[in-house]
Amino acid sequence: MQKTDIHRIKKHWKRWAMVVAAVLIISIIAIANRSGSQDKALDLVTVTKHDIVELVSLTGRVRSVHEMDLAFEQSGKVEQSFVSVGDMVKAGTVLVTLTSSDLQAQLAQAQSLWAGEKAKLLELQLGARPEEIAVDQTNLSNADIALSDARANVERVSAKASADLETALSGGLSEGTKAATVGKNALLTISQIQGDHFTYKDQDNTAVAEAKGRAVFALFGVENADWWQPESIGMLSGGLYRTLAAPNMAFSQDGTMGLLVQTKSALELTAIALDAVNIKDVLSTTEKSDLASEKVSVSTALANVSNKLQAIAGQKAANDSFIQNAAEKLNQSQSAYNAAEKELLLKRAPATTEQLTIQGAQVQNAAGKIAELNARLQKTRLYSPIDGVVTRNDAKIGEIVSANEVVVSIIANQDLEIVANVPEADIARVAVGNTAHLTLDAFGFDESFEATVVRIHPAETIIEGVPTYETIFQLATTDDRVKSGMTANLDIKTAEKKDILAIPQRAIVSKDGQKVVRVWGGTGTKTSVTAEVQVTTGLKGQDGYIEIVSGLNEGDQVVIDEGGRSM
């Protein structure tokens, strides 16, 4: 074997020996570590109360302030313009107002309504005053007197109506009796002339006889008396004639009206019979005179009967009207009495819970109307949202401006602002008015600034496939060293809770989809967990702590370094 080969073998042997030695050393150390870890005490932390601040951390950039264009939410007529281009304004300054006299009037009315409803509620709560009860008692007494008067009036009107109707009916019956006598006399005259001159049964004479027969039947109820002689007619006293001639007769209104209608009909038939008698030369002057006289008498009696019928009907209608009016007045008096009695009872009785609730709701409704009108009034005023300088004012008094039409433009007093894009996962926690702590890369982390969220754009901006929302920050102070384009690191304070239970976030692990904390029970050695507790968490702090809503108590000790997937 050559000398060179021996040297090469020795060299390789030494190298392998070093590798083997290194492997043995590493194995021994690993075994020692494993043995040591088995006996290592648990790393515990005590559940205590903390102040937790939730932050959203972003990176943004400084840029020049953009002009803010301001517009009304509704159209209207410009009433006043308080600023000019170049004016410095503070946040909240009223810049332009629209005419709002109608809203002011509605607001005054709503405030008056609210005051009235409030007074009613107070009145219900306090109850009626003695003097109010006294007034209601007087009203009830007056209503009682009026009710008694109305009842008496109904009785008087009814009695008078009955008496007046009785007088009209009595007069009608009396007139009917007279008319029946007139009718009988006329039939006697016709029969006398008929017996002397119209006994031959020709057409004319037959017409007279038949007309007479119908009149006799209507007045006396006798049939076939067409050719009867005066002596026979004079002996008739039945039918309608007898009814009307009966002494002390008394009939109802309908009965009397029926008799008078029959009498009128009998007279009309008698008049027809008189007209059927032809005036001939054979008639003596006396007969002609008697015939004419009977016609006048029948006509007069017929008119009198008709008048009585109308008088009775008129009296009945008048009675109905008088009685109805009296009854209506009685009903009104009764209603007034009932209302006065109810009002007195209500005044004496305390307000019910339901009444107080309903009236309280009325007060709230009135207050809501005031709030609504105040909100609408606010929309007639254009305010400056920031401190700044007016760069545009197109408002002219008396002109009409449309909704969303730019009227005033303002730039911030500070020359710079910060813009950052908030991811959609965090945007719900960020709101206008949130404060932010920031540092600028140009100055390092030792120098910080304060800023406020002043605008959040409603439309998304897609960055690398993720929706974000451009958010504008206004610096609290002006620093001439800050330049446009600088990178800003922002921490936005979105929520804060003080004096709440909290533990380090790494003490929480996931197990079967639940948040679990390993708790040491306080007995034995600190080398094993004695319980696993499911917890409900809340706010996550920037310092690594997380709020415990439920599951743990102050003073519990939890493990923070055991295996498991931390939250």
350 in any annotated domain: no
Q: Is 396 helix (H, G, I), strand (E, B) or coil?
A: coil
Q: Tell whether 176 and 309 lie within a shared domain.
A: yes
Give residue-wise pLDDT tens across range 217-261: 988 989 888 899 889 888 888 888 888 877 566 667 778 888 888
Find out whether 58 and 422 touch, Cβ atoms under 8 Å.
yes
Task: Please give the Cα distance from 97 to 44 (Å, whole number).
Answer: 64
DSSP conformational letter for 565: -
Most confident segment among 181-185, 212-216, 295-299, 438-442? 438-442
Give residue-wise pLDDT tens across range 280-321: 767 888 888 888 888 899 989 899 888 988 888 888 888 889
* 44/128: higher pLDDT: 44
Give residue-wise pLDDT tens across range 462-508: 999 999 999 999 999 888 788 878 999 999 988 888 899 988 988 88
Give residue-wise pLDDT tens across range 258-274: 888 888 888 999 989 88
**Cα torsion 201, 204, 209, 214: sign:** positive
Q: What is the mean pLDDT of residues 49-66?
A: 85
Kindly state the tokens that stand for 92: 């909240």
pTM, two decimal places: 0.36
| Pick from 169-178, 368-377, 462-471, 491-500: least confident | 169-178
Give residue-wise pLDDT tens across range 412-447: 766 788 999 999 999 998 999 999 999 999 999 899
Find out whether 566 and 505 touch, Cβ atoms under 8 Å.
yes
**Given 3-state DSSP classes, what are the helix, strand and coil percentages for the chain, each rounded to the nearest 5?**
50, 25, 25
342 in any annotated domain: no
Q: Tell whether 408 and 440 lie within a shared domain.
A: no
Task: Please give the Cα distance from 96 to 219 (Å, whole number).
Answer: 102
Name the residue range of residue 514's domain.
41-65+421-466+475-567
20 in any annotated domain: yes
Would you say residue 27 has pLDDT above 60? Answer: no
132 in any annotated domain: no
1 in any annotated domain: yes
Q: State which amino acid sits at residue 95.
A: L
Q: Tell whether 539 and 449 lie within a shared domain.
A: yes
Q: Tell whether 263 and 311 lie within a shared domain.
A: yes
| Pick from 153-167, 353-367, 452-466, 499-513: least confident | 153-167
Q: Tell whether 403 and 306 lie within a shared domain.
A: no
Task: Please give the Cα distance from 468 to 217 (Å, whole number).
Answer: 115
Q: Tell whether 259 and 319 lie within a shared domain.
A: yes
Q: Torsions phi, psi of 342, nearest 5? A: -65, -40
Would you say residue 513 has pLDDT above 80? Answer: yes
How much is the mean pLDDT over the chain? 83
351 in any annotated domain: no
Q: Tell whether 193 and 326 lie within a shared domain.
A: yes
140 in any annotated domain: no
Q: Locate the DSSP E strands across 457-529.
A: 461-463, 466-475, 487-504, 508-511, 514-520
Give me the CATH number covering residue 482: 2.40.420.20
Residues 6+ apart with CB under 8 A from 245: 177, 180, 237
Number of domains in the chain: 5
Q: Tell whether 548 and 534 lie within a shared domain.
A: yes
DSSP conformational letter for 66: P
Would you say residue 519 has pLDDT above 80? Answer: yes
Q: Tell whether 201 and 322 lie within a shared domain.
A: yes
Would you say residue 524 has pLDDT above 70? Answer: no
Give residue-wise pLDDT tens across range 530-561: 788 999 988 888 778 888 999 899 888 888 86
Q: Tell whether 431 and 365 lie within a shared domain.
A: no
Q: Tell whether 325 and 211 lie within a shared domain.
A: yes
207 in any annotated domain: yes
Please list the residues that pair with 253 across neighbouring strands: none
Q: Tell whether 305 and 171 lie within a shared domain.
A: yes
